[in-house]
Amino acid sequence: MNPSYAHGTTLEPLIGQTIGDHFDAQAKRHGDREAVVDRQKGKRLTYRELSEVATQLARGLLALGVQPGERVGIWSPNRWEWIVTQFGTPKIGTILVNVNPSYRLRELGYALRQSGIRTLITAPGFGPSDYLGMLHDLLGELGDGPVAHPDFPDLKEIVVLGDKAPRGMRTWSDLLRLGDSIPVEAVASRQADVQFDDPVNIQYTSGTTGLPKGATLSHHNLLNNGYFIGELMRFTAEDRLCIPVPFYHTFGMVLANLACVTHGATMVIPGEGFDAGQVLATVEAERCTALHGVPTMFIAELGHPEFERFDLGSLRTGLMAGSPCPVEVMRQVQSRMHMSEVEIAYGMTETSPVSTQTRADDPLELRVGTVGQVHPHVEVKIVDPATGRVVPRGTPGELVTRSYAVMLGYWQNPDATGQVIDAARWMHTGDLAVMREDGYVNIVGRIKDMIIRGGENIYPREIEEFYYTHPKVADIQVIGVPDQKYGEQVMAWIRLKPGETSTEEEMRDYARGQIAHFKIPRYVKFVDAFPMTVTGKVQKYVMRQAAVKELGLEGAAGQTTA
C-alpha cells in the first residue's frame, strides 16, 4: 500500500527568533516602506513608525506593571491599533488574548475569567455591539485606580481605543503617554529574556460543542507559519495585501499580518468589518497585489452590483481559506479578479494555523480541486478514525498533523488538550480528508458533518460542488437531518442568484441521473443567508437545529442509531 503520509521537505530552516526580535529586524530593514494603511481611520505607518509605536505601547504596559506571562486582551475589530498591539505585546513577554469582536456578555466574561486577562484593550464598540456598555454591565461602576472585581480577580486595567474613556479606564493615548516614564532600555531588557518557545497568544475556538477552548500558541508556532505562508505566496516587500478577514482570528493575524511582516509587505485594512464594496474600492485605490478572504467574501465581491467598475488589475495573489472553496468560485476569482496565483490554504487555529497550501504555479486542477500539499516542516497523515491506522492513498479518513506548528495546548485545560493531541504529538483535526497519489489533499468534510443515510457515507462537500454548477445557484450548504427510516436524510440550503426563482423539485430534478439517488436532497430550503461566525464560517449545527424544528423531526432526532 502507498500510505497517506507526507512531510514537507525543504532546505529553508525554521526561524529561531521571537516575534519581537524578528519584527525589529524587519523594521530596521524596511524602515521607510509602508507597513500599515488603515483606510477607514485615515492612518498610515511606515515600518519605522510601526516599530516606534509598538515599542511605546510596550513601555506603557511596563508602566502599568504588566509582568512576563501575564495576559493582555484585545477586544476590537480591525484597526491599526490592533496591529500595534500584536507586535508590541510580544516584546515584553506577555500573552495576547484575542477576544472575538462578536462576543456578548456571557462569552466576554468567560474569556476574561478563563484566560485571566490582566489588561484589556478594547474598542468602544463594533456595529450594534456596545463594548463599553457590556463592560459596565459586567463590572459595574469603576472607581479610580485599578479595576477590582471579585469575579475577575486578574483584571486590573482597561484601555479604550479612542479619545474618551469612562471613569476607571484609560484611553490609548493615556497608555502611550505613560510609556514616557519607562526607558526604552527596559523594553530591550525584557525582550532579551523572552524565548521563542514561550506562549505569545491565546485564541479561543468557536465553542460549537461546548465552552470555547483557548488554543495557546508560541512565538515559534506563529512566526514560522506566517513566514512559510508568505514564501509559498511569493511575497516580497513590493506586495500590498488587502485584509478584510478579522485580525482576532489566525486568518488575519497570521496568514495576513505575519505573512506581510516577515516579508516587509504592506498590510492594508479596508475597514473595521467586511463590506464587499469597501474591499473592492480599497484594492483599486491602494493598488493591492493580494487579497485574502473566506469563500463567502469572494462570492459577495464577485456578486457586487458595481463589480465591473472597479479596476482590480493590480491583483496577483491571495489566499482563500477558512472553509471549503467552491470550484466555480475559485475559477471566477482567477479570471474576473485577475488573481492568477490565488492559493488555497487549509488548517486550524490549533496548528497556527496552516498545514497544507497550494502553490502559485500549480495547474488549475490542483488549485481549484484540492487544499494543496503539506507545508514545509509539517507532517500530515490520514488515519482510520476508528483504529488510528494510516489508510492507503485515495481512502477517506481523519487528517492528523504534527510539526513545529502544533499548539502548546489549550490554556489551563489539559483534559481537552489530551483529547486532540496524542502521545506522539499528532494533532487530530476532526476533518475528513483524502490524500491523492501525488500527495495533494482533498478535504471531504467534518467527521461530525458526514451524513450516514441507510449505511451510506455521504460527504456534503461533494453535493455542494455538484450544485455550484447549477446556473441559478449562488451558494449552497448541505447538512444531514434525522430520519426515522434511514437514520439521516440530505438537506440542502440554497441561496439563489439575484432575480432567480426555483422550486425544490427543480433542484432535485437537476440531480437525477447526475449523482447517486441517495445523495439527492430529500429537503430543499431557499434562504437569503446562512448562519455564520464572524470569520465567515457557516454554522451547520445551527442550521441542523433550525431544520429539526421547522420540519418537525424532533422524534427522529431522539432515536438511537448504530
Helix, strand and coil content of the chain, in percent to the nearest 5, comes to 35, 25, 40
Q: Which three cell numbers stand for residue 466?
A: 455538484
In a domain, 442, yes or no: no
Query: What's the structural domain count of the chain?
Result: 2
In a domain, 209, yes or no: no
Q: At what angle do helices 460-467 and 504-511 cross, to 10 degrees?
A: 100
DSSP tally for the chain: helices H, then strands E = 19, 29
Confidence (pLDDT) at 208: 43
Domain's final residue, options 172, 195, 218: 195
Confidence (pLDDT) at 389: 97
In a domain, 324, yes or no: no
CATH code, 460: 3.30.300.30
In a domain, 440, yes or no: no
Kindly state the helix (H) or strand (E) to which residue 73 belongs, with its residue range: strand 71-75
pTM: 0.86
Domain's final residue, options 171, 195, 219: 195
CATH code, 106: 3.40.50.980
Q: How far apart are CA 28 and CA 47, in angstroms?
A: 8
Q: Which three cell numbers stand for residue 470?
A: 447549477
pLDDT in tens, 477-527: 999 998 887 888 999 999 999 999 999 999 999 999 888 788 999 999 999
Which parts of the chain register pLDDT below 70? 206-210, 324, 455, 534-535, 557-562
Domain's final residue, options 195, 214, 236: 195
In a domain, 39, yes or no: no
Confidence (pLDDT) at 535: 66
Order across the sheet with 473-483: list the strands: 473-483, 487-496, 523-526
In a domain, 155, yes or no: yes
Confidence (pLDDT) at 561: 27
In a domain, 104, yes or no: yes
Query: E strands within 135-269?
Result: 157-160, 170-171, 199-204, 214-218, 240-242, 266-269
In a domain, 107, yes or no: yes
Q: Which of 349, 348, 350, 368 is nearest to 358 (CA)?
A: 368
Confidence (pLDDT) at 507: 97
HSE at residue 500, side-chain half, CA atoms within 13 A, is 18
Q: How far apart are CA 329 and CA 313, in angstroms?
A: 18
Domain that holds residue 528: 451-557
